[in-house]
Amino acid sequence: MVRVVMKFGGTSVANPERIARAAKLAVGEVKRGNQVAVIVSAMGKTTDELLSLAKEVNPQAGSRELDMLLSTGEQVTASLLAMAIAAEGVKAQSYTGWQAGVTTESVHGNARIEQVTADRITSALDAGVVAVITGFQGMDANGEVTTLGRGGSDTSAVAVAIALNAAICDIYTDVEGVFTTDPRLIGKAKKLEEISYDEMLEIANLGAGVLHPRAVEFAKNHQMPLRVRPAHVDGEGTIIKEEIDLENNLIVRGVAFERDIVRVTVLYDTPFNGSLANIFTTLAQCHINVDIIVQTIREDAQPSVSFSIKKEDFAETMNVLETNKEALGYRRVEFEVGLAKVSIVGSGMVSNPGVAAQMFDTLRIASVPVKMVSTSEIKVSVVVPEPNMEKSVAALHEQFGLDVQ
């Protein structure tokens, strides 16, 4: 007998029919002789509806009360799923995050899990009960309800799996697994049987919505195997673990992309050694995430530093730069909108030189202008005009042998 943790996202429990399907999947694990803990998100768009309701009542509602409100969404799902499992003839009990022993830091809206004391859940599993636990939430040292922010239910599932010493953490979602790229964009994308933590972490950070990066990082740090599985059809999904067999000797394992990228360029009259530290410290203090950075210092050109941000951060970025213009000591700011980021990812790139050159040559042949470049051991990212994004992804997907044959 092993312990299995199953996590169902909002679309997987969006209505009574899907809750019934999730219940049958949990009961199936029990019938295979496993102890089962289930982590659930709020049903469908419940969280958005609760936020809208709060805005109607008080547009300036405090973060503490928002956490109290939002935490109810998962509680509805957990209790309904426990009822559905019981209707299948298997004992089940629902638990809030704090009842399950999830302790977080004292931050409302985006808390991080500090510890999971799973004694109560362990006792329930040993008694043959399926424990259905609310994701996305916990309690701080002062007894305050907290929520975990984006991807919180994924992180909850991984944390509970680690605390229970589970054999695997299954993330059930509305996709069949992790694909070489988004199959909605590239019809020839294929599902990967397995992928490494590092590759998945890069893909998650690059905008793929299958798993939240924080959950993948948590799993990697504790060597907890993950599996992304379909909730609505039968399928084995994709295993995420440390060591993998490179399928068909693929050097590049996936092509990721992200729309709505903006390039910001800060220009100076003279070079200033402290400019990089000052700019990015100031932006970081305002919680603005900066991605690709390029500094230019030439005798025949005005010194500058360019960086990419998401469109949603553009207004705040410009405001921060303008507010701190005197302290930062720059002359002017230029920007370019309508861009996208396209990346190739693969652990095989470490030992295979020339991958970046192959990528650039492919984009050249496709007549795609490259605006910015960033590299790591297992990733190469480029910023391109957004109208060229789909063409870039298709060309790279084919070039690196990822198309379904």
Predicted local confidence at residue 138, as pLDDT = 97
pLDDT given for residue 160 in this prediction: 98
Domains and CATH numbers, the chain: 3-174 (3.40.1160.10), 255-399 (3.30.2130.10)
Confidence (pLDDT) at 108: 95
| pLDDT confidence bin for 219, thresholds 50/70/90 | very high
Q: Which residues of 332-359 are buried (b: 16+ CB within 10 A; e: fewer)?
A: ebeebeebbbbbbbbbebeeeeebeebb
16-31 vs 63-87: helix axis angle to the nearest 10?
A: 60
* Nearest CA-CA partner of 36 in 172, 168, 220, 134: 168
- How far apart, in Å, are the Cα atoms of 295 and each of 219, 273, 303, 307? 35, 11, 8, 9
Q: How confident is the model at residue 184 (pLDDT cuts 50, 70, 90)?
A: confident
pLDDT given for residue 47 in this prediction: 94
> What is the pLDDT at residue 275?
66
| Residue reference for tokens 């009542």 | 57
Share of the chain above pLDDT 90, in %: 77
How far CA 215 is from CA of 8, 121, 149, 218, 254, in Å, comes to: 14, 21, 12, 5, 19
Q: Where are the alpha helices (DSSP H) in 99-151?
A: 119-126
* Structure tokens given for 74: 């998962």
Distance CA(145)–CA(108), nearest Å, equals 8
Query: Of the given ranges (128-142, 161-175, 237-251), which has the lowest mean pLDDT?
Result: 237-251
**Cα gap 228→231, rounded to integer Å:** 10
Would you say 5 and 37 are in contact if contact means Cβ atoms under 8 Å apart? yes
Cα separations in angstroms, 380 against 113, 324, 342, 357, 368: 31, 32, 8, 10, 16
Tell me the per-residue pLDDT of 253-278, one tens digit each, with 9 for 90 and over: 999 999 999 999 999 887 665 567 88
pLDDT digits (tens, 9 = 90+) for 107-149: 999 999 999 999 999 999 999 999 999 999 999 999 999 999 8
- The predicted pLDDT at position 234 comes to 86
Quote the pTM value.
0.86
3-class secondary structure, 59: coil
Tally of CB atoms within 10 A around 384? 23
Task: Count other Cβ atoms within 10 Å, centred on residue 58.
Answer: 10
Give the number of residues written for the chain: 405
What are 174's two structure tokens?
Answer: 């509305």
